[in-house]
Structure 1
Amino acid sequence: MRLGLSTPIVVQVPGIASPWEATAGPKELTRIARAADDLGFDHLTCADHVGVPAASAAGRGVTYWDPLATLSFLAAHTTRIRLATSVLVLGYHHPLALAKSYGTLDRLSGGRVVLGVGVGSLAEEFALLGAAWQDRGPLADAALARLRAAWGQREVDGFVLEPHATRTTVPIWVGGRTRRSLRRALTLGTGWVPFGLRAADIASMLAAPAGFDVVLSPGVPLDPQGDERDSLRRLESLRTAGATHLTCTVRATDAAHYCDQLAALRALVDRHLS
C-alpha cells in the first residue's frame, strides 16, 4: 500500500484537527509537507469548499484553504510527493477551466497532480455559487468525461489551452459513499475515495479490477508513537478492505511533533504493511 497524508492546517474539521493548527501558517505547512516528501509519502491532499454554511460549521468546520493556491505553493516546496485534490466538486468548475488550471499545476510540478473529484453534498454552497443542485450526478459525469478528454490537449473545441498538462492522462480519484460513486469511479476514473463507510462495508462493495486505486482513510488521527497497536490495527483493517492507498493524519502537539509522528507512521507501515 502507498501511504499518503491528509494535510493538516489546510482543512480543520472539529474532532480531527489539533488546537495548534488554528494558529499555524505557511511555515508549519511547508515543514510538514517537506517531511512527508522526504519520508516517501505518496501524496498529500487539499479539499474544495468556497464557503461552509454557518449552521453546518460545528460539524464540518470552516477552514478550507483553496486547493489550487495551496497545492501550487506546496509544489514549489516539494520534489516528488503527488498533489491530490480531495475532492474538487465538479459542479463548481467548468471542466475546461480545470484542465487549464490544474494542467498548469501539473506542468509546474513535473506531472504530480492527482485529480480527486466528487459530486458534492452541500446544497447551500451550490446555491451560493449558482451551480445546479438538481441532476448534479449526471452533470458531474458529463463534466468528468469532458475533463478527461481535454486533459493534456492543446486544442479543445476550437480553443487553444496554453499551457496544458504535458500528458494526456491523469489519475482521477472519485469520491463518494454509494455504489453509484463506485460505478462512476470504475467507469470514468482510475480510483475510488470512499468516506463515511466502515471497512467491512467497503470490502463488500468492492470488486475492483487490477490497477484500480482504492484510497482509504482511518477516519481518525493516528498516534503511531503513543499507540502503535491501535494505529496498526486500523491500517490493517483498511488493507483487508482492499486499500491500495492510505490517506492518514496523525495526532500532534505542534508541527515538529507532527513530523516525528509521520516518521513513526512511515516506519510502522514499512515494518508491517509493505
Structure 2
Amino acid sequence: MRIGIVTPVLIQHPGTRADWEVGAGIDEVARIGETADRLGYHHLTCSEHVAVPTAVAAERGGTYWDPLATLGYLAARTTRIRLVTQVVVLGYHHPLEIAKRYGTLDRVSGGRLTLGLGIGSLREEFDLLGAQFSGRGERADDALRALRASLSRPEPEYHGEFYDFADVVVRPHAVQDTVPLWIGGRTARSLRRAVELGDGWVPFGLRLDDLAAMLEATPPRPDMEIVLAAPRPLDPAGAPDVAIRALARLRDAGATAAGVTIAATGVDHYCDQLAELKELAGPLGIDFD
C-alpha cells in the first residue's frame, strides 16, 4: 500500500477545514506538495466544482481550486509525486477537452498524471453549466471509452453512442502510454464501472464493512488500484496509535493506496506531520518511493 494526501486548502468543507486553511494560498500548498514529494508520498489530489450554488455551499463548501491550474503549478514545484484529479466530473467536459488539457498536464509533469473521474451528483451545477444530468451514467461510460481512445494519441478516433470523432489532431497529448483512470463514487455501479473501464476505484463516504462487501460482490481486477480514505484526519504526532490502526485497517480492507487527511495547526505543523506519518508507516510495510 502507498499513501497519498488529500491536499489541504484546495477544498474547504465548513465542518472539516482547519482554521489555518482559510487564509492559506498557493505558497502553503506548494510547500506541502514539495514536502510530500521529498518524503516519497504517492500522490496529492485536487477536486473539481465549477460553480456551487450558495445554499449547497453552506453544506459542501464553496472553495474548490481548479485542478488543471493548480496541478500545473504543483507539477513545476515537484518531481516525483503523482498528480491526481479527485475527481473531474465527466459530464462537464467533452472527452477531447479532457484529453487535450490534461494530456498537456501529463506532458509538463513528465508523465505524473492520474485522472480521477466521476459522473457527478450536484444537479444544480449541471443545470448551471448547461450539462445533461439525466442519463449521465451512460454518457460517462461512453466518455471513458472515448478517453481511452484519445489520451496519448495525436490523432484520436472514436465512434460511440454519445461521442463520435475522427480526422482530428490533438497535440500535445499525454506522454504516458496509458494514463491511469481512477473512478470515483460510492455505489456498486461505480465499482463495476471501475472494473470495466478504469484502472482504479476511489470510493467515498462508505464504511469499511460496506466496502468489503462491495469488493467481495464485484472483485477488482488484479491490476486495479483500490484507493481508500482514512475516515478522519490523522494526527501522527499526537495520536500515533490511532494513525497506525487507521492505516492498518485500510491495508487489511484491500487498499492498494490510502488517501489521508492530516490534522495540523499550520503549514509547518502539517509538513512535520507528514514526516511523522512516514516513520509510523514503515513497520506496516507501506511503500514510499
Give the TM-score band, short-chain normalised. Answer: over 0.9
Matched, 1:109 2:109: yes
Runs of 4+ in 1 over 2 A off after TM superposition: 271-274
1:170 is the counterpart of 2:182: no
List gaps (5 residues or longer) in structure 2: 157-165
Match of 2:245 in 1: 233
Alpha-carbon distance between aligned partners in 1 of 2:174 and 2:145, rounded to the nearest angstrom: 17
Point out the more displaced range, 162-171 or 86-95.
162-171
| Structure 1 residue 204: Cα displacement | 1.1
Contact 1:154 1:160 survives alignment (8 Å): yes
Q: How does 1:1-274 map to 2 (within 5 A)?
A: 1-156=1-156, 157-206=166-215, 207-274=219-286
Q: Distance in 1 between matches of 2:58 and 2:278?
A: 32
Identity rate of aligned residues, in percent? 56
| Alpha-carbon distance in 2 for matches of 1:57, 1:94 | 26
Task: Provide the aligned length of Structure 1 versus Structure 2.
Answer: 274
Give the distance between the partners of 1:168 and 1:14, measured in 2 at CA: 40
Given that 1:18 and 1:253 are in contact with CA atoms closer than 8 Å, whether structure 2 keeps it comes out as yes
Partner amino acid, structure 2, of 1:169: T
- CA offsets, 1:189-209, max 9 Å, x none? 000000010011111111222
Secondary structure (helix, strand or coil) at the match of 2:133 reads coil
2:50 is paired with a residue whose SS is coil
Deviation at 1:219, TM superposition (A): 2.8
- Equivalent-residue separation in structure 1 for 2:91 and 2:116 (angstroms): 13
Secondary structure at the aligned position of 1:87 is classed as strand
Per-residue deviation, residues 140-189 of structure 1 (Å, max 9, x unmatched): 00011101110111112111111111233111100011110000000100
Deviation per residue, 1:8-52 (Å, 9 max, x gap):
011111232211001001111111000000010000000000011
Give the stretch that moved more between structures: 264-273 or 32-41.
264-273
Q: Distance in 1 between matches of 2:213 and 2:272?
A: 35
Partners of 1:108 and 1:4 lie apart in 2 by 21
Structure 1 runs not aligned, ≥5 long: none
Letter in 2 for 1:233: R
Structure 1 distance, partners of 2:280, 2:264, is: 17
Secondary structure of the residue that 2:77 maps to in structure 1? coil
Aligned-residue RMSD, C-alpha: 0.9
Q: Which residue of 1 aligns with 2:159?
A: none
Cα distance in 1 between the residues matched to 2:231 and 2:65:
20
Secondary structure in structure 2 of the residue aligned to 1:86: strand
Distance in 2 separating the partners of 1:90 and 1:209: 23
- TM-score, normalization by structure 1: 0.98
Alpha-carbon distance in structure 2 between the residues aligned to 1:26 and 1:148: 32
1:77-98 Cα distance to aligned partner (Å, 9 max, x none) = 0000000000000000110010
SS at 1:216's partner residue? strand
Query: How far apart, CA to CA, are the structure 1 residues paired with 2:7 and 2:175?
Result: 26
1:271 positional shift? 2.2
Cα distance between partner residues in 2 of 1:112 and 1:250: 23
- Structure 1 distance, partners of 2:213, 2:168, is 44
TM-score of the superposed pair, with normalisation by structure 2: 0.93
The worse-fitting range, judged by mean Cα deviation, of 119-128 and 206-215 is 206-215
The whole-number CA distance in structure 2 between the counterparts of 1:108 and 1:187 is: 29
The separation in 1 between residues aligned to 2:226 and 2:32, in whole angstroms, is 24
Q: What SS is found at the alignment partner of 1:225? A: coil
